[in-house]
Structure 1
């Protein structure tokens, strides 16, 4: 069973909540370099797991955000309309970014309660849960799920396994993104950095 991913096209919803400059100024006291690294690994996690799920990546980018006198940074991974299994979409679009950012913090020796809180991505979780529910695929936020469904912990566990398995590819995309003068990669450039193919856009009917 597949679900059209154009419902999540753009992922611009997060610019006005967890990733706002005001929140960054109060929650994230790390250096700009460290924050950009977290954003890059976050977006690389989405990009790699999304392409592995069969989604067509249009571009990945980091960009400056200004709001209420504060300046911060955020990121976006944009997808072309395509289809995927609900669990794969929940993993790639909902959990992969935060899980990848946490792993980068752990590998670099920066992981602690404060940095974990700084890269927390409830906006991704809530957005993908809402989108899947609207399409008839509810995700349970409790310890159990109805038959044929899954819980958010199922999503997190799958994301941790997938990020660990694909870590070299995620790292390659994150480093390529940070190395670009405009902090921007096309979907094909991201796929090339990861050593994988950017899936060809599919137009079959979705659910």
Structure 2
């Protein structure tokens, strides 16, 4: 037996709710109020709760979608750009993901945060591995780095204060990228 298909309007409502929650999280985790998310999405609270019975359900779905989009971006970027440029563009996407991630992990219980973070490490590590391997094969990325190195380096994003985010997040990823490049 297959799962029931969602009606088109229900699918659109769900997508708008997730996008409204993502926007609220980007403004800061304290800004995520479910009634405001429903209003911003143009749906009633009943519709929001039908899709996401709890705040954590909504936050988890935002997080999972962001991970999926970030992971899917790696091969797409490699198809269109040289490896170092693909990695730089992926890092640009990572900034948005990291901001939402920080909001989600701040707003959910410790157990839920651990589960979400643990579930994303593998796919994100695989995406980083693909980006690094392409650059290493081309000779533009140092051969002595791996995905774990990069993940440890980019983990500092979670330590930036809200005031530091705009002036530092992209700049620091540029520093990381420069350190990953091979030197003549």
Q: TM-score, normalised by structure 1?
A: 0.33
Bigger radius of gyration, 1 or 2?
A: 2
- Larger helix share, 1 or 2: 2
Q: TM-score, normalised by structure 2?
A: 0.36
User: RCO higher in 1 or 2 (8 Å CA, sep ≥ 6)?
Assistant: 1
